[in-house]
Amino acid sequence: MALHVSSSSNGKMDASAANEETLDERSLYAMMEHDRIEADSRPNSIAECYDQNGDLDPNLHAQFLDKEVELDDAERNHFQALLDRLEWEEEGRWNVGRAAKKARSRRRFKNLRPYFFDQNGNLKHLKPMETVWCIVHCMNDREQPQQSKLFAKFRKRFRMPHEQFLELLERVKVHGLFARWTRRDASGSPPSPIGLLLLGSLRCLGRGLTFDDLEEFTATDEETHRQFFHKFIECGETALLPFYVRMPKTADQFQTHRHEFNVGGLWGCGFSADATNVVMWRCQHNLKQAHSGFKSSHPTRSYNVCVNHRGRMLSSTTGHPSRWNDKTLAWFDDFMCGTHKGKLLDDSTFDLLYWAGEPGKSDVLREKCRGAWGLADNGYHRWSCTQAPGKVHSLVIDQRLSEWIESFRKDVECVFGTLKGRFRALKTGIRLEGPVAADRMWLTCCALHNWLLEVDGMDVEWQGDCGKNDTEECRRLAPFAIRRLNNNQLQNFGSREHENEACENVVLARRRDEDMVEADDAIVSNIRRDEAGRIHLNSLSYFDFRHRLVEHFDILHRHNKVKWPRREKQRNPTNNQT
């Protein structure tokens, strides 16, 4: 019987023979090269490098060293060729009688779609254009009013009004990062609907869904959603963040952020600062030590944020290890450091009131200052531009200001709660790998947060309404931080007798503060004035400016000019708040 060999078998045998010949040639060439180097005229030992007088010849010694290196290389090549031949022989014996693997085409992600039953009961693939998301939200002609239940549900599910979603979709279509989803691929297949991918990214931020969950909703593979989401948060960091999170650098830009603080008697103040942590589930092993703080058992990323009283973010740092404290984070905050050093908002001016003589009986004068300051907690530096609530008080006027500051700076805590409630992914933890993706995700959420404030009309200046500061009305309308005080010292809160008694202890309290030893320019003042006589805020120490601020707030309180800012109610809200 004749033996028939297929053409494919002949091809494999030819390739195997060629491989064997190549290995033999390599081994033979390496051996011949070693013999050639060993037989040349250069010295073969160190003894041949000495001349007739017994001195070492440097040229012969150098030739000997070069020859040793070349011999080592030739031996290494020869042994490597022998090892390759042995491995090839072992592999050939192992694969004898085994069928070769069939060549398979690479599976495409676009073909991984869910199934559904049609009207006839036949099982069919679900196309992305046939999903509910695409039909209702991407192909909707917007004939329904914006106050309809459908658009209210859209705002609740995707954390954005439908009109702003269409605006964001137009931005995404023309951005260079998303060019691959706006044209056909190399095989001529149409791209995945970019509107569905954008809806998936918003749902992932808003409710913390996984990419596998998005595949069920959009009939588009999770890998496609993952790639699009990374491009989306990169666009949020580079395009949306500079447009919606604008750091004030001049007095005109800072003036609107001072309105609510001016109403509350904190003249010149314009921001509140604090830091928050976000869990990072997929942290690299070499970064877990630095990202493991005392507030969470999991690795977290810290972000320092400055906001105004309306909840608008003025600046946000990129992420830093959660083991760093607030003082370290402040050095990496360009807005706080720029304000402290006078590089930002140095042209902003404000006045501080003070008594010309005895408190309560003399005239009220004005001290002109320039610069900006904000509210912070006691974990930050003792800078004049970062005033924090006091811990120990000997005067009622000092305690009143501390409690007032404590109530005012709750705005930044409310922003953190709103941000993590609106974008659930920040509360449950970021599941993207690496700190770069986590920072981009945080900054994208900050930009969307400010955009939604503008859309909802919550970025306008608030009104102030607190009435007169008599005893009963202060107990009824003062913030909770003040109303909760039940000690005997404050039973007569706001009475003139208690005010006069407290003013007599001002000198003693100032002496007590001067005896304290604090860092961060808390004690030493080097007062500088400009040509118009205004005091530079960063030239004052923390306690010097605090004493002036306490006296200023006491005067406003005595003259019934302290008000609590309140947001003006919207008569015709356009969208539900999320």
Task: Please compute the mean of the pLDDT values over residues 235-249 and round it to a whole number.
Answer: 94
Cβ-based burial of 526 (10 A; exposed 0-12, middle 13-18, buried ≥19): exposed
Smallest Cα–Cα separation from 415: which of 375, 465, 474?
375
- For residues 265 and 353, the answer to whether their CB atoms sit within 8 Å is no
Give residue 26's pLDDT.
Answer: 77
Do the bridges between strand 364-370 and strand 349-355 make them parallel or antiparallel, or are there none, so unpaired? antiparallel
For the record, the structure tokens of 391 come out as 């811990």
Q: What is the mean pLDDT of residues 521-542?
A: 82
* Sheet strands (E) in 78-156: 115-117, 123-125
CA-derived radius of gyration, the chain: 37
Q: Which two tokens stand for residue 280?
A: 């990072």
More confident residue, 14 or 424: 424
Q: What would the two tokens of residue 222 be? A: 């999770």
Q: Mean of the pLDDT values across residues 55-66?
A: 84
Assign 260 to helix, strand or coil: helix
Under 8 Å between Cβ of 250 and 345 = yes
Q: How confident is the model at residue 84 (pLDDT cuts 50, 70, 90)?
A: confident
What is the Cα–Cα distance from 549 to 388, expressed in whole angstroms?
12
Residue 370 confidence class, pLDDT cut points 50, 70, 90? very high
- Rounded Cα distance between 443 and 432, Å, is 14
Span 541-568, average pLDDT: 88
Mean pLDDT for 111-135 is 72
Contact present, 393 and 399 (Cβ < 8 Å): yes
Q: 13: pLDDT confidence band, cut at 50, 70 and 90?
A: very low
> What is the structure's pLDDT at 106?
53
Q: How far apart are the first and last CA of the chain?
A: 83
352: which strand partners? 367
**Distance of CA 128 to CAs 135, 159, 199, 208, Å?**
9, 22, 12, 21
Least confident of 197-206, 420-429, 488-497: 488-497
Give residue 139's pLDDT band: very low, low, confident or very high (50, 70, 90). confident
pLDDT at residue 405, as a whole number: 92
Q: How far apart are CA 65 and CA 63, in angstroms?
A: 5
What is the rounded CA–CA span in Å between residue 402 and residue 553? Answer: 11
Quote the pLDDT of residue 486: 38
pLDDT higher than threshold 80 for residue 455: yes
Other Cβ atoms closer than 10 A to 6: 8
CB contact set of 228 (below 8 Å; sequence gap of 6+): 178, 181, 192, 197, 198, 200, 201
Structural tokens at position 96:
């004898």
Higher per-residue pLDDT: 277 or 469? 277
| 311 to 6, 27, 249, 264, 316: CA distances (angstroms) | 77, 75, 19, 16, 13
- Indicate if the pLDDT at residue 518 is higher than 80: no
Confidence at residue 247, expressed as pLDDT on a 0 to 100 scale: 93
pLDDT of the residue at 232: 96
Q: Tell me which range, 114-118, 141-145, 536-540, is most confidently predicted by mean pLDDT.
A: 536-540
Find the range with the poorest average confidence among 122-136, 261-275, 429-443: 122-136
Q: Which residue, among 493, 449, 457, has the nearest Cα to 475 in the 3D structure?
A: 493
pLDDT tops 60 at residue 115: yes
CA within 13 Å, CB half, 499: 18
Q: Among 30-34, 185-189, 210-214, 505-509, which is the least confidently predicted range?
A: 505-509
Q: How far apart are CA 193 and CA 134, in angstroms?
A: 8
| Cβ neighbours of residue 43 closer than 8 Å, sequence gap 6 or more | 49, 60, 63, 64, 67
Banded pLDDT at 147 (limits 50, 70, 90): low
Residue 61 identity: H
pLDDT of residue 297: 84
Q: State which of 46-60, 305-319, 470-484 shows the largest mean pLDDT.
A: 305-319
148 has a pLDDT exceeding 90? no
The CA-based angle 217-222-228, given to 5 degrees, is: 100
pLDDT classification of 100: cutoffs 50, 70, 90: low
Higher per-residue confidence, 15 vs 161: 161
Q: Find out whether 74 and 37 touch, Cβ atoms under 8 Å.
A: yes
Reduced to 3 states, what is the DSSP secondary structure of residue 410?
helix
pLDDT band at 436 (very low <50, low <70, confident <90, very high): very high
DSSP for 217-240, please give it. Answer: HHSS-HHHHHHHHHHHHHHIIIII
Percent of the chain with pLDDT over 70: 76
At residue 336, does pLDDT exceed 50?
A: yes
CB 329 within 8 A of CB 374: no
Q: CA-CA distance, 175 to 197, in Å (whole number)?
A: 15
Specify which of 149-158, 277-286, 389-398, 564-573 reaches the highest per-range mean pLDDT. 277-286
φ, ψ for residue 139 (rounded to 5)? -110, 15
If you count them, how many residues does the chain have?
A: 578
Of the listed ranges 63-72, 93-102, 260-269, the one predicted with least confidence: 93-102
As a whole number of angstroms, the distance between CA 507 and CA 243 comes to: 49
Work out the pLDDT band at 143, boundaries 50, 70, 90: low
Return the pLDDT at 68.
Answer: 86
φ, ψ of residue 304 to 5 degrees: the values are -95, 130
65-69, 80-84, 518-522: least confidently modelled range = 518-522
Confidence class for position 99, pLDDT limits 50, 70, 90: low
Cα 421 from chain centre: 16
Per DSSP, what are the bridge partners of residue 273?
306
Q: What is the pLDDT of residue 178?
A: 93
134-143, 254-263, 486-495: least confident range: 486-495
Residue 66 has pLDDT above 50, yes or no: yes
Percentage of the residues of the chain whose pLDDT score is greater than 90? 42
pLDDT tens sequence across 27-42:
778 788 888 888 888 8
For residues 151-163, give the mean pLDDT: 87
Q: Which residue has the higher pLDDT, 497 or 251?
A: 251
Is 405:389 a contact under the CB 8 Å cutoff?
yes
Q: Please tell me the predicted confidence (pLDDT) of residue 216.
A: 87
Q: 71: pLDDT confidence band, cut at 50, 70 and 90?
A: confident
State which of 150-154, 287-291, 389-393, 437-441 shows the largest mean pLDDT.
Answer: 437-441
Give the per-residue pLDDT at 29. 81
For the chain, what is the mean pLDDT? 80
Measured distance CA(313)–CA(374) in Å, rounded: 13
Residue carrying the six token digits 């779609």: 113
Least reliable range by pLDDT among 166-175, 394-403, 520-529: 520-529
Q: Average the pLDDT over each of 91-95, 160-164, 381-385, 546-550 and give the range with the smallest value.
A: 91-95
Within 10 angstroms of residue 366's Cβ, the number of other Cβ atoms is 11
Q: Are 438 and 233 in contact (CB under 8 A)?
A: no
Looking up tokens 């404590």 gives 406
